[in-house]
A and B are shown apart, each in its own frame.
Chain A
Amino acid sequence: MNTLGRRSVLRASLGLATGAALARPYIANAAAKTATVWWVQGFAQEEDVAFRQLVAEYEKASANTIDYSVVPYAPLRQKIVSAITSGSVPDLIPSTPAEAYVLFAWDDKLVDVSDVVATQKHEYSETALLSASCYNRIEKTRSYYGIPFTSASLPNHIWRPLVEKAGFKMEDIPKTWDAYYDFFKDVQKKLRAQGERKVYGLGLQVTTNGNDPNNVFNYFLIAYGGVGIVTKDGRLHLDDPQVRDAAIKAMTYPTTAYKDGFVPPGAVNWNDADDNNAFHARQIVMDLDGTISTEVAIIKDREDYDNIVTMGLPLSNDGKPVPAQVANGIAMIPKGAKNPDVAKDFLKYLIQPQVSNDYLKAGLGRNIPAMPSIAKNDPWWSADPHRKAYVEQGLLGPTVPEFFVYNPAYAQARNEHVWSVGWNDIMQGGMTPQAAAEKAFKRVEEIFAKYPIVQS
C-alpha cells in the first residue's frame, strides 16, 4: 500500500487541475446547444404548463436544449439580482420585477438584443418597442436590451350584482374619469342604506406596498394630463405646470375618496394580494388592478366569473381617450451568459406571432400579446368578455409605456413609493395635497439627479 505523502498529494492535485483545464473546452463545446433559463412562475398553473409546452416544442424544432427552472416571482427577483451582481448568470431571464431590465441596461449588464427584435419589429406595437429600448450609461446610447413577449395593463373590475343591488344598471356608469369613479361612491351609499355594513365603493390601492399603488397613481396622473412627466429623452418635467397640476389632482382624488370613507381604511397598508381578496369577498364594488388575474382566479366558478365586468378606462374629464400605461413582459440576456446564441434563438422562436399566441392562449390570456396582429387575427381574444375588454384596453386602444423605460430614475421613485407616501402624508399625516405633492416632487427630482442621460 502506498503511503500518502505530501508529494503524492501535490502530484495528484496537479494532475487533476491539468486534466480539468485540458478537458474544459470540450465540456463547453458539448454544452454549447443548451441554454439555461430561469422563468417566472405563472399566476395560474396553466401558464407554467404553457411554458413547458413551449420549451418542448422549441427543443423538438431546434434540437437545442433549454435547461429551465420555473421560480416564484419574489424569489426569482432575488435570484436575478444576486446572479447579475455576482456575474454567475443564466442565459435567459424574464425581467422580474418589471423594471429590472431598465436598471440592468443602465449599468451595461445586458446583451444588446436588437437582432432578435428586428425579426418581428414590424409586428410589435409602438409601445412594446418603446418598452424594449433602454439607455445604457456606459455606451451613452439607447438600444434594445429586452424582448417584449407579453403586455399588461390595469382594467377596472366591477361586481355587476353589487351595482344592480344598489339599484343601478351597468349602462348608468358615466363615461368620464371623475364621474366614473364617483358613481361607485353612490353605489356604496345605496348598499350601506340596505345594511351592507362593510362594503366599499372603490378598491383604490392607496398603499405603499408592491406595484399596485404606483400603477394606480400613474393612471390617475395620465388621466389628468400628466403623461408628459417623463419624456422619451429621459427628462423629468416637473417644471411643466400641466404635469404639476395633474400630479396634484392624482394626489387629491384617491385620498379624498379615502378620507370620505369610500375606500377601505385598511387599503393604506394593503399588499398586492389584499385588493384581490377584498374584491373576491365582495367587500369592494370595483378594483382598478393589473391584468385579468382577478377574473382568471375564479374561472372555474362560472357564475362569479360571469358576474364580474371587466372594463377599460373611462375618458378623461374633458372627454378624450386616456391611454393605458402598459407594462410589457420582457425577456433579457445578461452579459456573461455562456450560450447567448441559443438564448437568442429561443427568443426568436418565442416571439413568432403564432408561437406567442399559442403560449399566451394556453396561459388563459391573463397576459395579452405585445403584437396587435395576434389579437386582431384570432377571434379567441374577443370570444370572452373579459379578454375582449382587456385586449381593447391594453393592446388595441391607445397605450403608453411605463415611465421608467425613458429613465430608470422613475423605477427608483416607484420602488421608494414616493407618490403613495405622498398619499399617506395626506390621509394620515394631515398634509394638503399641494404640500404632499411638493414633498414628492423634491424627492423625485433628487432621484432623477442621480440618473443623468446624455442627450445626443
Chain B
Amino acid sequence: MASASVIGFSSPAVARRIAPWRYLQGGLKGSEYNWAIAFLVPYVAVFLTFVVYPAFYGLWMGSDPSLYTELFSDPIYQSTVVNTLLFIGIAVNLKMFCALLMSGFFMRRGWWVKALLMIYVLPWAVPALPTFISIHWMLNGEWGLLNNAIYQIFNVDGPSWLNSRWFALGSAIYSHIWKWMPFWTVILLAGRMAIPQELYDAAKVDGASGWRQFVHINFPLLANLYLICTLLSTIFTLGDFNSVFFISGGGPANSTHVLATLGIRDAFDLAKPRLGVAAVMSALPLMIPVVIVLMRKLRTAEVQL
C-alpha cells in the first residue's frame, strides 16, 4: 500500500483526488503516521528548546535599538571591535596555517613522532582555566617565569608583557593559538590520512618533489577541509572568552577587550544582560557571511575531503 501511495503521489492526476491533509502526511497512513510523529517529537522538542528558543530569546534580548546607542557610546567599544578583528584575523589564520604545517610533520613515520603527537595535544587536552592563569603569572613583569629566565640568561629585565595593549593582546593571541592549534592539527592530520597513498606513489614515479606533491595533491584535496575548519574556527574564536579574560583580563585600562569579554562584562559586571547580548549581537555583520559561506561549503556537490 505504501508503495502504491508513493506511486500515486507521483502522478498529479491521482494527487488531485487525495485530500490535502493526506498529502501532507507523506503517504503514511493510520498508525504509521502516528508512530512517525511519536519518533519525531523528541527531536523537534530538543531542537525547539535548545536551538530555536535560545536563538530567538537572544535576538529578543538584543532587539531594543536603545541598547546599541548605549553600546556605541561606551568609550571602549571601538577599540574592542578593532581588537576582535585583530584577534580573529591573526589567531585563526596563524593557528590554521601552523596546524597545516604540523599535520604534515605528524604524517611522518616513526614511534617518536607518535609519542611527540601525544605530548603535542596536551595543551588542548588540559583544562583551559588553570593553564591560562598559569600563563598570566608566567608573564608577570616582575616575578614571572619568563622574565626571570630572561634575566638569568641575559642579565636584563624583560618587558612588562601585560602592561602594554599590544603585548597583552599578543599574549592572549599566543595563548589562544597554543591552546587550540593541536586540535586543528589533529583534524587536518585526519584529512591528510584520508588521501590515498597511491596518489603520492604516482607523483613520486613522475619525479614530483615534496613541494610539488603539496601543491598538486595536498593543497587541492585539503582546500575544502581547510576552509571549513577556518570558518568554524572563526566562529569559535569569536566566542573565545577565556584566552583574553584570563591572560590580560581586558587590561591594561580596558584596552584588550574583545566582544566576548565586553559582552560578559556588560552582562554580569554591569548587571545589564541585554547590553551584553547587544555587544555580542553587534558581531552579527561579521558572523552571518561566515555562516553563509560555511553552509554553502558544507553542501558543496564536489566532495573533496
Contact = CB atoms under 8 A, between A and B. Distances in A.
Interface of A: 3-6, 9, 77-78, 81-82, 85, 97, 100, 103-104, 198, 200, 207-210, 264-266, 268-269, 271, 274, 277-278, 281, 283, 412, 415-417, 420-421, 424-425, 428-429, 443, 446
Given A5-B34, A266-B162, A274 B140 contact: yes
Contact of A412 (B168, B249, B251, B270): B270
Contacts of B209: none
Contacts of B23: none
B34 A269 contact: no
A208 B160 contact: no
B250 interface: yes
B124 interface: no
Q: What 4 pairs across the A-B complex have the smallest Cβ distances?
A: A424-B253, A209-B249, A269-B251, A269-B162
Given A104-B271, A269-B163, A415-B269, A9 B248 contact: no
Interface string B157-189: 000101110001000000000000000000000
A412 B252 CA distance: 19
B207 interface: no
B143 A198 contact: yes
Contacts of B163: 265-266, 268-269, 428
- Which of B144, B252, B271 lies at the interface centre, i.e. has the most chain A CB atoms within 10 A of its CB? B271
Given A85-B273, A412-B270, A208 B252 contact: yes
**A interface majority secondary structure:** helix
Contact of A268 (B30, B38, B74, B251): B251
Contact of B252 (A6, A97, A424, A443): A424
A207 B140 contact: no
Contacts of B270: 412, 415-416
A5 B31 contact: yes
A268 B143 contact: no
Contacts of B250: 208-209
B268 interface: yes
B255 to A, nearest CB: 8
Contacts of B164: 428
Nearest to B165: A428
A274 B141 CA distance: 12
Nearest to A450: B70
Contacts of A429: 253
Contact of A428 (B30, B75, B252, B274): B252
Given A4-B35, A9-B38, A421 B254 contact: yes
Nearest to B277: A85
**B interface majority secondary structure:** loop
B45 to A, nearest CB: 13
A77 B273 contact: no
A208 B253 contact: yes
A424 B168 CA distance: 15
18 contacts: A3-B31, A4-B34, A4-B35, A82-B273, A208-B251, A209-B250, A209-B251, A264-B142, A265-B160, A266-B141, A266-B162, A266-B163, A268-B160, A268-B253, A269-B163, A281-B143, A412-B270, A415-B269
Given A4-B38, A9-B38, A428-B163, A265 B142 contact: yes
A415 B34 CA distance: 56
Contacts of A428: 163-164, 252-253
B249 A271 contact: yes
A97 B143 contact: no
Contact of B142 (A198, A271, A424): A198
B290 interface: no
Contacts of B160: 265-266, 268
Nearest to B246: A271
B267 interface: yes
Contacts of A420: 253
A202 B16 CA distance: 88
A377 B288 CA distance: 65
B265 interface: yes
Given A198-B143, A264-B142, A265-B141, A81 B253 contact: no
B142 A266 contact: yes
- Which of A3, A9, A209 lies at the interface centre, i.e. has the most chain B CB atoms within 10 A of its CB? A209
Contacts of A100: 271
- Which of A268, A412, A425 lies at the interface centre, i.e. has the most chain B CB atoms within 10 A of its CB? A268
Nearest to A266: B141
A210 B254 CA distance: 11
Nearest to B264: A78
B35 A269 contact: no
A283 B137 CA distance: 14
B267 A81 contact: yes
B269 A97 contact: yes
A237 B81 CA distance: 34
Contacts of B37: 6, 9
Contacts of B268: 77-78, 81
Nearest to B276: A81
Contact of B75 (A264, A281, A443): A443
Given A4-B35, A81-B268, A271-B249, A417 B254 contact: yes
Interface string B116-159: 00000000000000000000110011111000000000000000
Contact of A269 (B30, B31, B248): B248
Given A4-B38, A9-B34, A269 B252 contact: yes
A425 B75 CA distance: 13
A433 to B, nearest CB: 15
Contacts of B136: 271
Contacts of A417: 253-254
Nearest to B254: A208
- Which of A81, A425, A446 lies at the interface centre, i.e. has the most chain B CB atoms within 10 A of its CB? A81
A75 B15 CA distance: 58
A84 to B, nearest CB: 8
A252 B102 CA distance: 51
A82 B136 CA distance: 28
B271 A103 contact: yes
Interface in B234-249: 248-249
Contacts of A78: 267-268
A207 B31 CA distance: 68
Contacts of A421: 253-254
B63 to A, nearest CB: 15
Contacts of A266: 140-142, 144, 160, 162-163
Contacts of A104: 271
Given A198-B142, A207-B251, A208-B254, 7 more contacts: A9-B34, A85-B274, A208-B251, A417-B253, A420-B253, A421-B254, A425-B253
Interface string B262-292: 0001011111011000000000000000000
A283 B142 contact: yes
Contacts of A274: 140
A81 B34 CA distance: 43
